[in-house]
């Protein structure tokens, strides 16, 4: 099994979910006392959030590239970034390392296309929904992307930063997300991408009338497959 270098802490709530899923998947696949080979570098999210807030993406990309290089030096065979939003600087991270970088939007696109879906609604932080880095990555694979209107985007973003990153799960917020999903489906969305690692703590396939694509879980499975773990049932 290859070693996965994980850039996490953005937020630690979602990184915990990534780590938990990875180890559960390995245990289910291999049994016994097996667990995932992971080197985790958990950053201080306050520092990242400050850079996001003032739009200093140059500093953010330099910081994450440096930490990715540290994971490579520590023995990682590949790098994953446990946050959808910070894939805004993925190109710089990938260019800074000599090992593979597994892009979360690519693993999501593969699942969307595999399900026969061509038009999706995208939920995430305001950065993910409004900036082109994520949407264009999907559109390059001929996936049409719909985002909520401005009011819904603000509400979705607020739930992430005010609640989910702090581990706060509220039924009222789940109901709000369901309403946003319903409006996206009414606009023609054939599937919903949970394009923020924290959203999977709040919303599941039970909350949508169309297929839901949980980016964290999909990312974990793709990383483990790349690490040489056969996740096929009965393998």
Catalytic residue numbers, as ranges? 83, 196
Asked if residues 124 and 84 have their Cβ atoms less than 8 Å apart, the reply is yes
C-alpha to C-alpha distance for 187 and 190, rounded to whole angstroms = 9
Could you give the C-alpha distances from 190 to 61, 85, 174, 216, in angstroms and in order?
33, 23, 20, 20
Asked if residues 135 and 122 have their Cβ atoms less than 8 Å apart, the reply is yes
C-alpha to C-alpha distance for 204 and 200, rounded to whole angstroms = 6
Is the preceding peptide bond at 170 cis, omega within 30 degrees of 0?
A: no
- The residues that bridge with 101 in the sheet, in sequence order, are 79
C-alpha to C-alpha distance for 148 and 144, rounded to whole angstroms = 14
Describe the strand order of the beta sheet including 191-194 as a list of residue ranges. 144-146, 119-123, 191-194, 212-214
């Amino acid at each position: 099994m290859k070693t996965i270098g994980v850039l996490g802490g953005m937020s630690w709530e979602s990184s915990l979910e990534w780590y938990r899923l990875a180890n559960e998947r390995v245990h289910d696949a291999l049994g016994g006392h097996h667990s995932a080979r992971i080197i985790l570098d958990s950053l201080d999210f306050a520092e990242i959030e400050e850079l996001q807030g003032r739009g200093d993406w140059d500093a953010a990309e330099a910081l994450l590239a440096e930490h990715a290089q540290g994971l490579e030096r520590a023995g990682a065979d590949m790098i994953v970034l446990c946050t959808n939003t910070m894939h805004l600087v993925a190109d710089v991270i990938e260019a800074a390392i000599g090992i593979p970088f597994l892009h979360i939007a690519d693993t999501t696109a593969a699942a969307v296309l595999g399900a026969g879906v061509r038009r999706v609604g995208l939920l995430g932080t305001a950065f993910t929904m409004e900036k082109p880095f994520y949407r264009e990555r999907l559109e390059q694979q001929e996936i049409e992307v719909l985002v909520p209107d401005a009011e819904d985007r603000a509400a979705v973003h607020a739930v992430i930063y005010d609640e989910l990153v702090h581990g706060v799960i509220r039924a009222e917020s789940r109901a709000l997300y369901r309403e946003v999903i319903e409006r996206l489906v009414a606009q023609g969305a054939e599937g919903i991408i949970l394009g923020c690692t924290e959203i999977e703590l709040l919303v599941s396939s039970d909350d949508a009338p169309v297929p839901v694509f949980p980016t964290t879980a999909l990312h974990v499975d793709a990383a483990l497959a790349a690490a040489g773990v056969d996740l096929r049932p009965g393998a």
